[in-house]
């Protein structure tokens, strides 16, 4: 079995930038839908079953 060195802590894997971009897109869309529905962060969090902190993340 060949061992591969672990990436340095400062180096980001190529997928990391894609993941961050996707997270930003989802956040923007969620905010747009929430505001269009006239919901507060707390109201939206309750409706989707997650904490306000998680939704705000």
In the chain, what are the domain boundaries? 14-56
pLDDT for position 57: 80
Please tell me the chain's helix, strand, coil percentages from 3-state DSSP, rounded to the nearest 5.
65, 0, 35
Q: Are 55 and 44 in contact (CB under 8 A)?
A: yes
Mean pLDDT value across the chain: 85
Question: What secondary structure does DSSP assign to 5-31, as a single string?
Answer: PPPPTTPPPHHHHHHHHHHHHHHHHHH
- What's the pLDDT tens digit per position in 37-54? 999 999 999 999 999 999
* Position 4 confidence tier, pLDDT thresholds 50, 70, 90: low
Percent of the chain with pLDDT over 90: 63
pTM of the model: 0.63
pLDDT for position 56: 84
């Amino acid at each position: 079995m060949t061992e591969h060195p672990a990436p340095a802590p400062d180096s980001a894997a190529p997928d990391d930038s894609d993941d961050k971009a996707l997270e930003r897109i989802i956040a923007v869309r969620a905010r747009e839908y929430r505001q269009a529905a006239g919901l507060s962060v707390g109201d939206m969090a309750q409706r989707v079953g997650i904490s306000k902190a998680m939704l705000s993340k």
